[in-house]
Amino acid sequence: MDLFCVSLLLAIAASPVFSQTVCQNTLHGSCINLLSGTTHCGAGNHLVLSYCGFLEACCYGAHHTVATAAPTHAPSHGTGSHTTSSGQCGVPAVSGNHKIVGGTVATHGEYPWQVSLRYGGQHMCGGTLIDSQWVVTAAHCFQDTSKHYWTVAVGVQDRSHIYSSQVHNAILVLTHEHYDHSRNHNDIALIKLDKPVDTTTTYVKTACLPDPNENFDNNVCTATGWGALHEGGQGSRYLEEVDVPIIPNSRCNYYMGNSIYTSNLCAGYSQGGKDACQGDSGGPLTCKKNGVWKLAGITSWGYGCAQRNAPGVYTRVSSFLSWIQTTKNAH
């Protein structure tokens, strides 16, 4: 049983904030150690999560510019409005080509609630922005790592070009108190960001939470992430989307050996071919109802990727609405 996450085991020695390494570009900057507890490198300077080694980022002066500046327009591979709309949840300002494994590249801003959870500067899992300071994801993402030193990148489409303005420190990582790794039960966690993000922009918005006991059976919903494009493969550079039908738990239990809880939700095709995969863990499964996208599931586990008679298994968000609200209120 493969969890949709690549575990990272690190032995971390104490190190200075700045290393002796010069950025591998024309910025003439210095590499900053991301485990120093800061993502700032001095007044008037900038930080970009590229051009340095593992667990490092490039700190460069304001008089230098990066060749690939942050885009002000959505990439041209999709169509849609780029106007900034209100901060209403579940309504992106950009529409895609609607047509991961068997999926397509998403248009920048099409899923503005999708975030990248990063450990040591590396993408590890996905997550979903549910309000301006909180992200929901899967508990298993933190199974083999410290709950410290995580950052959250918002408004990202190309994970190889992430800018300091998009990155926020995770000040709290709160996994469900009854999470059972061996049974993949209660696979949910909340992350509190160091400060609220602006959710009224084109590329950063929140997804709506579902109603209590809302049923998505037989709806075709969308899983998104930067996970592997095939089982055992490398993660995608660009955010991918794949449409999958929600299947009833009774049928999912038949496929998955009666290992499905009522707090799970399953999606996929009996013939396989489309699924979430490694690196998509914790990311959203969203369903569009009446023009609004709702967070139906959190990518949790499965047997391989996109295999026949092996749907993807997600945490059913409607089962955890009280936990989400109570946990947020307590912190």
Where does the chain have alpha helices with state H?
A: 249-256, 321-330
Per CATH, the number for 114-205+321-330 is 2.40.10.10
pLDDT of residue 10: 26
Q: Would you list the domain boundaries of the chain?
A: 22-61, 114-205+321-330, 219-319
Which residue in 30, 116, 164, 187 is the catalytic one?
A: 187
Q: Exposed, middle or buried by CB within 10 Å (0-12, 13-18, 19+), for 181?
A: middle
pLDDT of residue 50: 44
| Helix, strand or coil, per DSSP, at residue 330 | helix
Could you confirm whether 263 is annotated as catalytic? no
Q: Exposed, middle or buried by CB within 10 Å (0-12, 13-18, 19+), for 82?
A: middle
pLDDT of residue 188: 98
Estimate to the nearest angstrom the gap between the alpha carbon of 36 and the chain centroid.
24
Which residue in 50, 116, 236, 281 is the catalytic one?
A: 281
Vertex 130 angle, CA 166 and 198, to 5° = 40
Structure tokens that stand for 115 in this block:
């975030």
Domains 114-205+321-330 and 219-319 in one fold: yes
More confident residue, 212 or 29: 212
Could you confirm whether 116 is annotated as catalytic? no
Give residues with Cβ within 8 angstroms of 325, minimum separation 6.
none
Could you confirm whether 140 is annotated as catalytic? yes
- The model's pTM: 0.72
pLDDT single digits (tens) 49-61: 444 554 556 665 5
Taking residues 12-38, report their average pLDDT: 48
CATH homologous superfamily of 219-319 equals Trypsin-like serine proteases (2.40.10.10)
Neighbours of 254 (CB within 10 A): 13
pLDDT single digits (tens) 151-208: 999 999 998 888 888 999 999 999 999 999 999 899 999 999 999 999 999 999 999 9
Which of 128, 131, 284 is closest to 197 using CA atoms? 131
What is the rounded CA–CA span in Å between residue 200 and residue 217? 31
Which residue in 140, 168, 275, 280 is the catalytic one?
A: 140
pLDDT single digits (tens) 244-287: 999 999 999 998 888 899 999 999 886 645 445 444 789 999 99
pLDDT single digits (tens) 304-319: 554 566 788 999 999 9
